[in-house]
Amino acid sequence: MKDNTVIVDGTESSPTIRFAPVFNVAAAFIDRHVEEGRAAKVAIRSTARADVTYGELAERVNRCGNVLKSLGIGRGERMLIVVPDLPEFFYLFWGAVKVGIIPVPLNTLLRAAEYQFLIGDSACAAIVYSPSVAGAVEEALQSAEHKPDHAILTEGAGSILELMEKAPASLDPAPTTATDECFWLYTSGSTGNPKAAVHRHRDPVVTSQLYAYGALGMREHDTIFSASKLFFSYGFGNSMTFPLWAGATTVLNDQRTSVDMTFDTIEAFRPTFYFGVPSLYAQQLAELEKSKRDLGSLRICASSGETVPAEIFRRWKEKVGIAIMDGLGSTESLHIFLSGQPDDYKPGTTGRLVAGYEVKIVGEDGNPVKQGETGTLLVKGESSAIYYWNNPEKTASTMLGEWLNTGDVYYQDDDGYYVNWGRGDDMLKVSGMWCSPMEVEGRLMENPKVLLAAVVGRADDEGLTKPEAFVVLKDANDARDGLVEELQEHCKTGLAGYKYPHWINFVDELPKTVTGKIQRFKLRAST
């Protein structure tokens, strides 16, 4: 095989991806498009920048890589990237990969103390950041014990973009292999300090080919918009690696995600693919009930983060005319390995296995359970992270040989679809029986007055655990004692009696991570 090439063969249900002995993934995602005649095709559209063609993207990646080399950042050293969804994120990420530097995208919404931890944990050689996050980053740099050799802004005098203007426009990729370390992604850290999952050069090829191309059918003619941001593994794939692998066009919006932002972006740029999260889909539906928005360009809608409740699925398909392809993935697996697919989905489930991955559901003894029984979901695939940086204990408990322990409780129904029963640490033991918070939440959200719901365990006067619900209403004026009883009766008629919420609290919003996952541990702490 020629250097930096990929061959996909095998069957549709059992694809095989082979890599050249010398393989730098930047060549496959960036350089290939110029060689294949896409230089004039638009690769990136942005609300804050001019369009960028594939030819311009390749040149700017080369210039950026040359700048990073000239700074003396060595192969294998880490470079933190704190940049919102702008084209320069692409230049920095792929420029670093091309010269063998390890790029590490960071959440742009963190505080100084959190950046300080990440600077020290990564022992980075450089940090590149946008003016919009300069305050928090520079405060962190002042107090950090570890001092990176380079701290550089993306814009302004002496910035990366300025240095790129004078840098050479050609650059040969470093002679890496498909299994060499390539980039890190930090987990969201919703229950503790973030952990860095270390990924290889082959990993984004695997997720892009198996999920985006194979399961969802993304092609060159598509335009993609993701509400989730680039620094998170979900947005990283949606907005960058998937469209680049397909030769498609991506749409970037550096503003904070909101219902209006997503609708405005869809109407202005007419994407064919839209990636959201369940809580956002619920909020969008509430807005669509008030006003008409033009979503007619969409042909695929996808979701991850938490399972889309069957009622949200039903209402979205009824209102928009498109089913939501719900999926399960993780930072450790890089992206989605279970998913609904355009010709094969079932409301309230996470669909079926994405071809090329394997999963098994195991009990407390580590052995597979029978179909229909719940257990912990393990996944095996070639996009899995190698290890957690600087965290051997968590590596040992999560990365079980070829298998990843997802920490999610699942069962496979009679039709072969996978059903999410919640995180293992969110499950409730009520009256001696397991109760899934997601099952109760889904039932609550079937009520037309309910926008969002989250359920946790709370001890009653006798010290016994019972479900407690936190509910966001579509109209806060509906909150009243009678509604509590109405919702409890609604749950009793649709669920086993012990599962109904003994307490219901009406709240303005639920605590969520930046990726849209409900932080139930914060709700438990408030009871």
Could you tell me the two tokens for 296? 């007619």
Question: 93, exposed or middle or buried, with CB in 10 Å at 0-12, 13-18, 19+?
Answer: buried
Domain with CATH 3.30.300.30 in the chain: 427-526
What's residue 432's pLDDT? 63
Domain with CATH 3.40.50.12780 in the chain: 223-383+391-423
What CATH fold (topology level) applies to the domain 427-526?
GMP Synthetase; Chain A, domain 3 (3.30.300)
What's residue 229's pLDDT? 95
Rounded Cα gap, residues 379 and 408, in angstroms: 11
- Residue 334: name the closest of 306, 376, 304, 301 by CA: 304
* Residue 146, CB-side half-sphere exposure with 13 Å CA sphere: 15
Residues of the chain with pLDDT under 70: 188-192, 429, 431-433, 462, 514-515, 527
Architecture of domain 223-383+391-423: 3-Layer(aba) Sandwich (3.40)
- Residue 206, beta-bridge partner list: none
Rounded Cα gap, residues 356 and 261, in angstroms: 35
Cβ neighbour number for residue 371 with a 10 Å cutoff? 11
Contacts of 37 (CB under 8 A, 6+ apart): none
Domain with CATH 3.40.50.980 in the chain: 6-201
Rounded Cα gap, residues 471 and 462, in angstroms: 25
Question: 321, exposed or middle or buried, with CB in 10 Å at 0-12, 13-18, 19+?
Answer: exposed
What CATH fold (topology level) applies to the domain 6-201?
Rossmann fold (3.40.50)
